[in-house]
Structure 1
């Protein structure tokens, strides 16, 4: 049964989710972030996914929330999120350990780390955000922690793959397969983050990873749809190839992971050298969304056949992509879908996608040609966090 307080929270969340604020009306306070913080972030800084039986927390959620807190100039929330992440996912010291990817209620009813393996996409976002926070808030300790985490990602979560180059593995363990095969995830490599990590760390290995990631994105969407997971394989004859992962749960589909590929591409700066190629490559996703009236929940990356209707969170994720690609009618269609249905206020992932997609269109944040995020509070707001 919903309490009165909980009911009011859901109503407020729904009202906020129904609003797509035009870019010209970016606000110094960010109502969507405030609602997300109140709904999903505990008092001590844990991002809780209420939809799962174990009420778990994933490192991805902590990473995204830290970025949103920085975008909102919310220093207090940022510090709490970082402290909880270090204390509970990284054994008390984020400079010594990669954060575990999953924390929650265990089978014996105790609470703690469920899976100690790390998730490299979260780690990249955390490193990027820490270094950036150190600069914009003039906090050298944040910058130093981000620099150390960036080094650890290169040491523990990357591999030099023959014919491809230095590549980001999804985790330290479990993705080096047998017989010169590796399992990769295109949504784990936002190019703007890799580009700015190369600049801000001064480590050329990030540029090498950017080059390999560009190939990963360009060569894994034969029909214009990105897969959730891919297999990269080399042979004794030194030939190399990508293929969709047909053994995993997604069976060669693009869905809940891949939706972020279009999101990251849509947020690239217009002067970014990779932007036009990626937008052209994935144009079929924009066309299919317009034809259906909604983004597909899943799409077969070889046949282009859609399966199921994606949520309004998926629609929000596509907004920057549709705008960047000049798909104005489809952009308006998806904005109207969001206004008509709202974003589920209790759906963690949909709310994350909406914060990214709508926040970008509202110009709460943007990425410059070097991949560095810039925020509305830096440009036009005169307040302390």
Structure 2
């Protein structure tokens, strides 16, 4: 006898059967809405769209937090929330128009007790994520004004945050000011997610994005001799070397390199090569160890243990390489949304978890040309 519940049950069984092919952890397929995103939004997103980093005493907001929140609102198909986050970002970090001014990276309480921009220098990783969110929201929601702002942001990135390194070609500066000195150009490998660069190459065909993707792989190959990415590096005398300010450590920035690599479309020609360049965490986990909190990328030796944000960030990386057992073990160690709600907000760990666990749940994918493929579409 057929009951009204049968179609839902059949759909769930079909999703479970397809999970190994899609790189989705099967227990996540039945989840409705996005509870983990709601937990972070309820605790840390103001009514007018400001993402508050409550792990910092000054309750700061950053362009990074705004860009990630904008992306999650898009993945969750929440246009009203997307618009509030966008409006706060534009009005408070970009003088009201991100198409004309890239957003400042840091906003918070100033020395006089007021709230304002604390550092007007933009952060290029956030600029890329904001531009991407605008471009994809414009496409998916059929809102041309968002697309135009995204295109205008890309044009600003090209003119102020892309440099041509002699002997290499285009590379992304971490920001317009302060990253070139004493013959060294400082770079951050985690600022360069290849899915975003592929999308930019499709919408800005005359831009540097395709070459930048190839140079990102070269950056990783030269700075990760043991398969562990550094947080920072520098270009000096025709090669990538240890960063003069931060050294060769890989930690809270570098964890995103593995995250982005795992989320790249398997159809991308750099998919395998990038994972091979970042083989360190896979070897570590296969040997039964936990992902280190800090790694000396020159020796491959590490210390400490990364928290649950690190474990969540490694889910796409593992699933992309067919390591479902390791991925399931990490997933089972993550706090549930209910546990996160009862704990104090942990901005960065929750952000990493939303990216990594959300991808593992199948809430979104990136196509070979970088287009966002949300579950709701």
- Is TM (by shorter chain) over 0.5? yes
Query: Following the alignment from structure 2 to structure 1, what is the Cα–Cα distance between the partners of residues 110 and 335?
Result: 38
Deviation track 1:132-177 (CA, whole Å, cap 9, x = no partner) reads 1001100011000000000000001110111111111000001112
Q: 2:264 aligns with which of 257, 262, 268?
A: 268
Cα distance 1:340–1:156, how it changes in 2: closer, same or farther (>3 A)?
closer
Query: Following the alignment from structure 1 to structure 2, what is the Cα–Cα distance between the partners of residues 105 and 131?
Result: 31
Query: Following the alignment from structure 1 to structure 2, what is the Cα–Cα distance between the partners of residues 317 and 345?
Result: 20
Cα distance 1:310–1:338, how it changes in 2: closer, same or farther (>3 A)?
same
Shift of 1:207: 2.0
**TM-score, length of structure 2 as denominator length:** 0.89
Describe the SS at the equivalent of 1:114: strand
Q: In the alignment, what sits opposite 1:9?
A: none
- Number of equivalent positions: 351
Shift of 1:34: 1.5
Describe the SS at the equivalent of 2:186: strand
Deviation track 1:233-259 (CA, whole Å, cap 9, x = no partner) reads 12xxxxx111121532xx311000000
Q: In the alignment, what sits opposite 1:337?
A: 333
Measured on the aligned residues, the alpha-carbon RMSD in Å equals 1.9
Cα distance 1:201–1:28, how it changes in 2: closer, same or farther (>3 A)?
farther
Shift of 1:307: 1.3
Are residue 203 (structure 1) and residue 201 (structure 2) matched?
A: no
Q: 1:242 aligns with which of 240, 243, 263?
A: 240
Q: In the alignment, what sits opposite 1:45?
A: 49
Query: Following the alignment from structure 1 to structure 2, what is the Cα–Cα distance between the partners of residues 281 and 327?
Result: 17
Q: In the alignment, what sits opposite 2:303?
A: 307
Shift of 1:26: 5.7
- Is the deviation greater in 278-287 or in 333-342? 333-342
Q: 1:124 aligns with which of 113, 123, 128?
A: 128
| Contact 1:62 1:85 (8 Å CA) reproduced | yes
Describe the SS at the equivalent of 2:376: helix
Shift of 1:376: 0.6
Deviation track 1:80-104 (CA, whole Å, cap 9, x = no partner) reads 0000000000011111111000001
Relative contact order, CA 8 A, sep 6+: which one is greater? 1
Describe the SS at the equivalent of 2:116: strand
Q: Which runs of 5+ in 1 are unaligned?
A: 1-19, 235-239, 379-385
Deviation track 1:228-286 (CA, whole Å, cap 9, x = no partner) reads 0001112xxxxx111121532xx311000000000000001111111111222222212
Are residue 135 (structure 1) and residue 133 (structure 2) matched?
A: no
Q: In the alignment, what sits opposite 2:350?
A: 351
Q: In the alignment, what sits opposite 2:154?
A: 150
Q: In the alignment, what sits opposite 1:17?
A: none
Q: Give the alignment of 1:3-152 within 5 angstroms.
A: 22=26, 25=29, 27=31, 29-152=33-156
Shift of 1:331: 1.7
Shift of 1:29: 1.8
Query: Following the alignment from structure 1 to structure 2, what is the Cα–Cα distance between the partners of residues 284 and 69?
Result: 32
Deviation track 1:24-50 (CA, whole Å, cap 9, x = no partner) reads 616552112222211111000000001
Q: In the alignment, what sits opposite 2:21?
A: none
Query: Following the alignment from structure 1 to structure 2, what is the Cα–Cα distance between the partners of residues 294 and 311?
Result: 10
Q: In the alignment, what sits opposite 1:185?
A: 188
Query: Following the alignment from structure 1 to structure 2, what is the Cα–Cα distance between the partners of residues 194 and 131?
Result: 12
- Is the deviation greater in 323-332 or in 30-39? 323-332
Q: In the alignment, what sits opposite 2:376?
A: 377
Q: Which runs of 5+ in 2 are unaligned?
A: 1-23
Deviation track 1:310-361 (CA, whole Å, cap 9, x = no partner) reads 0011000000101112233422331232259966651000000000001001
List 4+ stretches of structure 1 deviating above 6 A: none
Query: Following the alignment from structure 2 to structure 1, what is the Cα–Cα distance between the partners of residues 228 and 25?
Result: 29
Shift of 1:217: 2.3
Describe the SS at the equivalent of 2:177: coil
